[in-house]
Structure 1
């Protein structure tokens, strides 16, 4: 394959890898950025809880300069089901718990006049280690999330892939400040460390290669005010890739063109959020998050509905 043809095929493959949030890069995001907002660091009392995150995302592909790539867009519906159990058992003074998250995705990708539509289970998240503490107006939690490559993956066909086809490991720290006047500030900080996708191919039926997506720092955040059972505020997220993408152990080279240069992604998103809590502890959240400062990813808008239900 001539160098120019190879570079073109590789460009398409690298810029169209997708996941739950339909972000553009080989090695898609396994965490749905912006998922945590109200009381992100305030883990509930011991017991079992069901959470449901449902929403819609629409975006257009952006290059390394933040400019739109013509004809490349995504629309995705998602529904993530989460079960969490917090126990009475304490470690270092904090309650130990665990959780599991199973995402379902329906996505449609458009590129160069064509489109692909796929529906599949995404990559499942498991955390065997959650520790939570509470002291006055402050609440915080430390955890380790493990992402398993359970999502549908098609080598050489990134527009059809929902799973990332690699394991990743993510330390988590979240904190919430909620005072007596109802003002809340919450943030969840994460650092995602990825393993290698050993089944990557730039084209369908092509030779398999090792592709490792760069590690990423990302955070969800919220600032808001509670009024009785209601709360209103601004929520969002920030993501910055910290290491280069690598192909067969070598950093993606800028010599292949301006799309490459390590393929480091970035995004900042924010928007309004409304929360309602019933007397029985059922929580409902609705929010819209608009993405800006986007590089090497799809950039657009995300609409969420979140349910928290004590069992």
Structure 2
């Protein structure tokens, strides 16, 4: 009973790992997969809507063991991403800028921990002044840099809090290799490195984290794309300002389907991921479950 009380206290005072879908950071692993390893080459404005639902089935400890009791919940989000490709070149790459505005609802019903909380609102906003895309006949590459702003409401006492309570600098590097000139078979990887700031109310600085989204994709004669996809996320440094050295990890695999309508400038992709391995960070607890995602892209 004492161990459960300690976990509950840690959960309430270090709510950041539960305040979003992200692995100890702002970015949601699994949100891009096959669509994130390149920047569209044609100049113009692109809008991508990500509809994401994370179904929490368990809560685990730093050893990856499931905590006792009925612990369930969900996080649903609509992330609105706007990308403008300028038509100009920098270092041989197409240059663009982007912003992401998420709207989120979190519901936690952790009976085993005595937590019952729900929150809704606009999440922390991302501003990316640098997006670079390189393109070859059988390859694509992307680099980006930007900042997640501390714009959303954050309450360290509420594990369902929408905001993270700190800003984050995010660096992106990714690429795709197409095995044939028709690009029927492709392998891609997209990595995000997050450098976090200090939470004003707790004076805790979450440790840097790194994640990789990967996919093996095949495009059928009909134009339908089928992919084996997944993500792996690691917290590389322990949180400063806490006595714990535990670092969060998340690993998942799943499938993705995608189809595009070139004449309409639209593309739709859907994916489902199952988290098969999770370890909690300094809070002592971390949700584990399944991720469902739809991404609609429209070119203007």
The Cα of 1:15 is off from its aligned counterpart by: 5.9
Does the 8 Å CA contact 1:189/1:219 hold for their aligned counterparts?
yes
Paired residues, number? 283
> Which of residues 276, 297, 300 is equivalent to 1:308?
297
Task: Say whether residues 1:272 and 2:270 are aligned partners.
Answer: no
Q: Distance in 1 between matches of 2:173 and 2:92?
A: 16
Provide the aligned C-alpha RMSD in A.
2.0
Q: Which residue of 2 aligns with 1:288?
A: 272
For structure 2, list consecutive stretches of 5 or more residues without a partner in the other structure: 281-285
Does the 8 Å CA contact 2:147/2:168 hold for their aligned counterparts?
yes
Does the 8 Å CA contact 2:77/2:103 hold for their aligned counterparts?
yes
Q: Which residue of 1 aligns with 2:171?
A: 171
- Change in Cα spacing, 1:193 to 1:114, as seen in structure 2 (3 Å) is closer
Query: SS of the counterpart of 1:10?
Result: helix
Query: SS of the counterpart of 1:53?
Result: strand
For structure 1, list consecutive stretches of 5 or more residues without a partner in the other structure: 201-209, 254-259
- Change in Cα spacing, 1:187 to 1:15, as seen in structure 2 (3 Å) is same
Equivalences for residues 140-179 of structure 1 within 5 A: 140-157=141-158, 159-178=159-178, 179=180
Does the 8 Å CA contact 2:133/2:143 hold for their aligned counterparts?
yes
Q: Which residue of 1 aligns with 2:61?
A: 63
Normalised to the residue count of structure 2, the TM-score between the two structures is: 0.88
Task: Say whether residues 1:125 and 2:126 are aligned partners.
Answer: yes
- Change in Cα spacing, 1:39 to 1:154, as seen in structure 2 (3 Å) is closer
The Cα of 1:54 is off from its aligned counterpart by: 0.1
**Per-residue CA shift, 1:138-167, capped at 9, x if unaligned?**
11011102101112211322x231111111
| Greater mean deviation of Cα atoms: 29-38 or 284-293 | 29-38
The Cα of 1:8 is off from its aligned counterpart by: 5.9
**Per-residue CA shift, 1:85-107, capped at 9, x if unaligned?**
00111111111100000111111
Does the 8 Å CA contact 1:224/1:231 hold for their aligned counterparts?
yes
Does the 8 Å CA contact 1:49/1:83 hold for their aligned counterparts?
yes
Q: Distance in 2 between matches of 1:121 and 1:170?
A: 19
- Change in Cα spacing, 1:72 to 1:29, as seen in structure 2 (3 Å) is farther
Does the 8 Å CA contact 1:39/1:186 hold for their aligned counterparts?
no
**Per-residue CA shift, 1:82-135, capped at 9, x if unaligned?**
110001111111111000001111110123344111111111111000111111
Normalised to the residue count of structure 1, the TM-score between the two structures is: 0.85
